[in-house]
Chains A and B, each alone.
Chain A
């Protein structure tokens, strides 16, 4: 039995890389104290051949990963209802469930299918809501993430972000100090990873346009750093900036027409804004120190950036109208790579506390109260990126000798990690909501 299990595991290990490379697997390491118990029953299907995806399993995993739900194991379910008249609420209540999600899939010819799902309140024995969705066998994962979004929003009041994607960079050693760098794009659960750029030279700082259609990033493919913009649908890309010196840290303005970036063409790193249509470059900062890592406030009126003008890297804000600058972070001796939530209230950043040998952690500062909370206990944490619903900050860290992605809710209650099958994973960038 043990051997059989081992053989299965090995087979799986061998098969996975063919299915999708460097795919990330989510492991929840800490959830909320009292997650809501919820059962997602395998969806019934009629008139369909074997379906390529298990919608209920994807919905269940999404909700579990959020940390807010404890989902019931299939093996523990007494029945697999797919419509209301098959539901015996008492059974679900006895097994401790608060909510029940059921559904059914019917083929409507060829690749077309209809999916109906219904959410029930087990304690009230009431239907909470339900919906019918039309799709194809090719987009069943999208349908599943959509359902998870709807359930999450209905039960938590927070918009779900399961239908979003993440971009990240992987690095694989090729021996002799050579590496292969890949810019990858995956669903928010790490599935369907695909490589959109591959190079033997470093790739870093991927940044999503606000409409989710483009990525800007830094690539050293020409043996110097250049800023590129790649259209995700067509794969078409262009080099938008390549001056002598640094070309880095691209950040899209909310209007999607401009990029903030770092150039050192005038002698030292300064923040600039590039108007993409006009090809017009405006210098924003003027200081002999390092000014870099710009990030836009959601209203587009100010830019936050990292500067060592005070002796150590701290985050500052510059108002574009009058170029007034104010310091934002004060705690600790290293604060950088700031990212704001969509409402502009919380700032996630890389933070190092004062004191010798302190680690680099991810921290979040409430800009309204000034309160700073350290979210991680590891070291060498970097590249924070926030889910569009402001619930989770995803970041890169070291585990053993490998770079992995990990995440924490902004309140620190929920944590998960996303190890890849091989290589270093780094530089995550969470997409905005996608249409």
Chain B
């Protein structure tokens, strides 16, 4: 019982320490990084796609609002799975009919292996979906592929269940 209490207190202290660490971070870096940090580059220290959540789900055009936007891949594979065909074809029909519409395909890998190699695997998956769309009539300029490799897992676990959710391509309408 006593041990439990100690653990709790320690956990609380750690949490506090973490928060404290974070807050001291921003003050320190804001000044340190702003001086040289921003020089001539576009994205800035943070923002960028920070609220990329708005690109998916809720902002889907009406015609494709009910379609799947995350497509999963088998281990070590970059072929589009048959269970993705129907919804990808529907996205392709919409894009072909609306040439001004654009999508971003974000390719992801599971955490196993090296980060840069996984960047390449994520891109391969994004390219596979991109080719699928183009074969179905989507224009070259309507699709952009960006690989995040293993950097943005959907699930944080270190098991097969999480890994299968992380091997994916997310389709996001840009406009």
Q: Which residues from chain A sit less than 8 Å from chain B, CB to CB?
A: 6, 9-10, 13-14, 16-18, 21-22, 172, 176-178, 180, 182, 194-202, 204-205, 219-226, 228, 230-231, 234-239, 244-246, 248-249, 262, 264, 268-269, 290, 292-293, 306, 313, 334, 336-337, 350, 352, 360, 380, 382-383, 398, 401, 421-423, 427
Contact = CB atoms under 8 A, between A and B. Distances in A.
Given A172-B22, A245-B145, A380 B158 contact: yes
Interface in B99-132: 111-117, 119-121, 123-124
A219 B147 CA distance: 12
B17 A16 contact: yes
B4 to A, nearest CB: 14
A360 B114 CA distance: 9
Interface residues of B, number: 57
Nearest to B52: A223
Contacts of A239: 40-42
B49 interface: yes
B114 A237 contact: no
Nearest to B19: A17
Contacts of B44: 221
Contacts of B21: 17-18, 21-22, 421-422
Given A10-B10, A219-B43, A222-B43, 7 more contacts: A198-B45, A205-B116, A223-B43, A225-B119, A237-B41, A292-B117, A382-B115
Contacts of A306: 114, 116-117
Given A222-B42, A223-B49, A350-B113, A246 B9 contact: no
Contacts of B41: 221-222, 226, 228, 237-239
B126 to A, nearest CB: 9
Given A200-B48, A248-B116, A421 B40 contact: no
7 contacts: A13-B17, A194-B32, A199-B43, A201-B50, A204-B116, A222-B43, A292-B120
Contact of A14 (B20, B36, B111, B145): B20
Nearest to B18: A422
Contact of B158 (A194, A236, A398): A398
A176 B154 CA distance: 11
Given A195-B32, A198-B46, A235-B33, A225 B146 contact: yes
B49 A197 contact: no
B112 A380 contact: yes
Contacts of A222: 41-43, 48
B40 A224 contact: no
Given A237-B41, A290-B120, A231 B36 contact: yes
Contacts, number: 194
A422 B117 contact: no
Contact of A292 (B28, B52, B119): B119
B14 A202 contact: no
A390 B108 CA distance: 34
A248 B33 contact: no
Contacts of A427: 115
Contacts of A398: 158
Enumerate the 5 nearest inter-chain pairs by beta-carbon distance, A residue then B residue, closest first. A235-B36, A17-B21, A221-B43, A222-B43, A202-B151
Contacts of A21: 21, 24-25, 28
Contacts of B9: 6, 10
Contact of B48 (A205, A220, A246): A220
B158 to A, nearest CB: 6
B39 interface: yes
A215 to B, nearest CB: 12
A287 B47 CA distance: 36
A293 to B, nearest CB: 5
A238 B36 CA distance: 10
Interface string B1-25: 0000010011001101110111011
A11 B22 CA distance: 17
A208 B146 CA distance: 26
B148 interface: yes
Nearest to B152: A202
Contacts of A197: 33, 37, 45
Nearest to B25: A21
